[in-house]
C-alpha cells in the first residue's frame, strides 16, 4: 500500500502561464507521455499540446472548472481534473476552440486532422446513444483526469472526482465521463459508475481496422 500523502484539492482560476504549464506537465506525466498517441503524430509535443487544450478550454468556458491536487508541503501538482457543468461541453463554444484547439489542430498533418474530424462526431454520437439524449449536456462531465504515477492509489483521483459528484448531487443531475483506457474501467466501476457498452473506432494509422474501445460511464444523482 503506498504511503499516505497530505494533499489539498483547489479550484484554479485565472492561472499564470507557469501554472498552466505545471498542470499540463502533471497530465502529460499521468498519461505516461502517450495521450492519444495512436492518433497524433509521434511527437511528444503534440500529445502535450492536446492535453493543454483540455485545461485552456475549461478555463475559457463559462461552465468549465479546473481543479488540482497539490502536495501540502511541496505544492507540487499531483493531479488535475477538468470539468464541464450543465449546459457546457468540451469545445462546444468558440471561446474554447480559440483557447488552443485551433492552434493545435492547425499544426497537424492532414491525415491527423481528418482523423479528428472523424472521431469527434463519433464520440459525441456514441455518448448520446450510450447515456441517453441530453444526459451529458445536462450533467457534470469529467473531461480529463490525471494523477502522476508516483502518486497513484492514494485517493487523489477519487478526491478530484468527488468535487464534481458533490456538485451533481446538489443539482440532482448525473456525473458522466469517458475513457479509452481499458485498465481504468474497473476503477470507475468500483467507485459506483455504470459502465456502458464500448464503441469501437480506428486509429489514424489503421483506418480499416476498428479495434480501439471508447467507454462511457454515468453515475446518476437525479
Write out the residue range of the structural domain in which residue 164 sits.
7-171
Cα separation, 50 vs 20, in Å, equals: 13
Q: What does pTM read for this prediction?
A: 0.94
CATH (domain of 97): 3.40.630.30
The answer to whether residue 217 sits within a structural domain is no
The answer to whether residue 29 sits within a structural domain is yes
Domain count, the chain: 1
The answer to whether residue 79 sits within a structural domain is yes
The answer to whether residue 210 sits within a structural domain is no
The answer to whether residue 101 sits within a structural domain is yes
**Which of 141, 142, 152, 181 has the alpha carbon at shortest distance from 30?**
152
Per-residue pLDDT of the chain (222 residues; tens, 9 = 90+): 566 779 999 999 999 999 999 999 999 999 988 888 766 766 678 889 999 999 999 999 999 999 999 999 999 999 999 999 999 999 999 999 999 999 999 999 999 999 999 999 999 999 999 999 999 999 999 999 999 999 999 999 999 999 999 999 999 999 999 999 889 999 999 999 999 999 999 988 888 889 889 999 999 998
Amino acid at each position: 500500500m503506498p504511503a499516505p500523502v497530505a494533499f489539498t484539492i483547489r479550484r484554479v482560476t485565472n492561472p499564470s502561464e507557469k501554472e498552466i504549464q505545471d498542470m499540463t506537465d502533471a497530465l502529460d506525466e499521468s498519461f505516461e507521455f502517450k495521450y492519444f498517441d495512436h492518433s497524433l503524430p509521434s511527437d511528444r509535443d503534440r500529445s502535450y499540446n492536446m492535453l493543454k487544450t483540455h485545461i485552456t478550454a475549461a478555463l475559457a468556458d463559462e461552465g468549465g472548472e479546473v481543479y488540482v491536487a497539490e502536495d501540502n508541503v511541496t505544492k507540487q501538482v499531483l493531479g488535475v481534473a477538468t470539468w464541464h457543468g450543465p449546459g457546457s461541453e468540451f469545445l462546444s463554444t468558440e471561446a474554447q476552440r480559440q483557447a488552443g484547439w485551433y492552434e493545435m489542430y492547425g499544426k497537424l498533418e492532414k491525415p491527423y486532422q481528418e482523423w479528428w474530424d472523424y472521431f469527434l462526431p463519433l464520440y459525441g454520437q456514441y455518448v448520446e446513444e450510450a447515456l441517453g439524449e441530453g444526459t451529458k449536456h445536462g450533467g457534470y462531465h469529467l473531461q480529463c483526469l490525471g494523477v502522476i504515477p508516483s502518486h497513484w492509489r492514494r485517493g487523489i483521483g477519487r478526491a478530484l472526482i468527488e468535487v464534481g459528484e458533490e456538485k451533481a448531487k446538489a443539482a440532482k443531475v448525473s456525473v458522466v465521463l469517458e475513457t479509452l483506457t481499458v485498465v481504468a474501467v474497473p476503477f470507475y466501476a468500483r467507485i459506483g459508475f455504470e459502465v456502458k457498452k464500448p464503441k469501437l473506432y480506428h486509429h489514424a494509422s489503421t483506418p480499416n481496422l476498428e479495434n480501439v474501445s471508447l467507454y462511457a460511464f454515468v453515475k446518476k444523482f437525479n
